[in-house]
Amino acid sequence: MSSQPLTQSPDMPIPVRLNLTLVALVFTAAVALLWLGSWVERWYAVLGVGAVFSYCLLANYALLHEATHNNLHPNRRANHWLGVLTGLLFPVPFSMIHATHQGHHLRNRTDFEMFDLYYPTDNRLIKYVQWYSILCGLFYPIIPVGALLFVLCPALLRARAFRTARSSSYLLGDIRAAQVGAIRVEVLFILAFFAALAWLLDLRLINTLVLYGCFAFNWSTRQYVGHAFSERDVIHGAWNLRHNRLMTWLLLHGEYDLNHHRRPDVSWYYLPCLCRPDDPPRPGYFRQYARLWLGPRPATAPAPESLTTLPLSIHDRSE
């Protein structure tokens, strides 16, 4: 299938008021849940709050993801600061995830992002450990810890282990020198934000870590459910899944990953409208999720070539 980009359509404006309302509601709810998670005493109550918190932060990540595509607000500066705000809760510096997520759209289903498949020459043990680490939530800590290492000890990220790894080598390469200063400032924002929360809300460290542990498990698994075992094509290597109505709104239509990769310039609000009559059948979300736990499969198709530019221009918003 061809990977030719489509042209941007001007008839699908960003739902600015709805997005701003969602950012405010999700941010307020997440802070309230952090406080509640430190206030309850029983371990099962903390886990219960953590489960709700994990879904709240999934919605927050959906908003953050919109900002990485300049789709959260039509004004570039406003979009950036909304991205910084939603990045506080993840926590991740927005300038870093903005750069690295574009790399995902350039290299989707290439060997750089082939976690669900393996070649005969691959180490099967490493592939299985990598795969089940993602499913068990260990993918998440790499993001905030990696941001800290990038800011505090950049020499560590130039070590052989990072340079030879398929995924980390290109992710770090996508960050330009001009973005390093912004990333450092945003890391300081994150540290100040959590220091202020800990002082104002009297947060308990262990309880807060439990809440983020719940989010880590929920978020890490979902990062590959829309791509696993899809065709090896940079743009078309994704699924439009079927999900229940509550989750489709909570995830901001995030189950329409194929539509999103075709049109990353389009707001989440319109993704269901981009389905085509010749699209492959939409697998059920839970069935697709269950398939993940069966482990990686042998690669039977050649790897696609990485793109050199984004499928669509997403930088033409007003300043």
pLDDT score for 288 = 96
Let me know if residue 7 belongs to a domain: no
User: Residue 75 forms beta bridges with which residues?
Assistant: 318
Average pLDDT, the chain: 88
Per-residue confidence (pLDDT) for residue 293, from 0 to 100: 95
Which residue did the predictor score with more confidence, 61 or 41? 61
Average pLDDT of the residues in 30-56: 96
Distances in Å between the Cα of 120 and the Cα atoms of 31, 113, 127, 232 are 47, 17, 11, 17
Q: Note the pLDDT of residue 108.
A: 94
Count of structural domains within the chain: 1
Between 215 and 312, the higher pLDDT residue: 215
Residue 169 has pLDDT above 90, yes or no: no
Q: Is the pLDDT of residue 308 over 90?
A: no
CB 135 within 8 A of CB 220: yes
Residue 195 located in a structural domain = yes
Asked if the structure places residue 11 within a domain, the reply is no
pLDDT above 50 (res 316):
no
Whether residue 29 has pLDDT greater than 90 = yes
User: Is residue 166 in some structural domain?
Assistant: yes
Mean pLDDT along residues 93-114 = 90
The answer to whether residue 245 is domain-embedded is no
Lowest mean pLDDT among 174-178, 231-235, 295-299: 174-178
For residue 37, the model assigns a pLDDT of: 97
Domain presence at residue 292: no
| Residue 160: predicted pLDDT | 55
Asked if residue 42 has pLDDT above 90, the reply is yes
Mean pLDDT of 161-176: 53
**Confidence band, pLDDT 50/70/90 cuts, at residue 8:** very low
Which tens digit of pLDDT belongs to each residue from 194-230? 999 999 999 999 999 999 999 999 999 888 899 999 9
Report if residue 231 sits inside a domain.
Answer: no
Print the domain residue range for 26.
16-224+264-269
Angle in degrees, 0-180, between the axes of helices 94-107 and 142-152, rounded to the nearest 10:
120
Per-residue pLDDT tens digits for 104-153? 999 999 998 889 999 999 999 999 999 999 999 998 998 898 888 878 87
Task: Cite the beta strand spans of 25-144 per DSSP E.
Answer: 117-118
pLDDT at 178: 60
For residue 232, the 8-state DSSP code is: S
List, in sequence order, every residue forming a beta bridge with 240; answer none if it has no partner: 256
- Looking at the predicted structure, is the pLDDT value of residue 9 above 60? no
Q: Is residue 250 part of a domain?
A: no
**pLDDT per residue over 156-167, tens digit each?**
555 555 544 555
pLDDT-derived band at 50, boundaries 50, 70, 90 = very high
Q: Is the pLDDT of residue 175 over 70?
A: no
Contacts 24+ apart (CB under 8 A), 187-196: 187/93, 187/147, 187/148, 187/151, 189/84, 189/88, 189/93, 190/87, 190/88, 190/91, 190/92, 190/93, 193/88, 193/91, 194/91
Q: Mean pLDDT throughout 179-195?
A: 91
Percent of the chain with pLDDT over 90: 72
**pLDDT for position 145:** 87
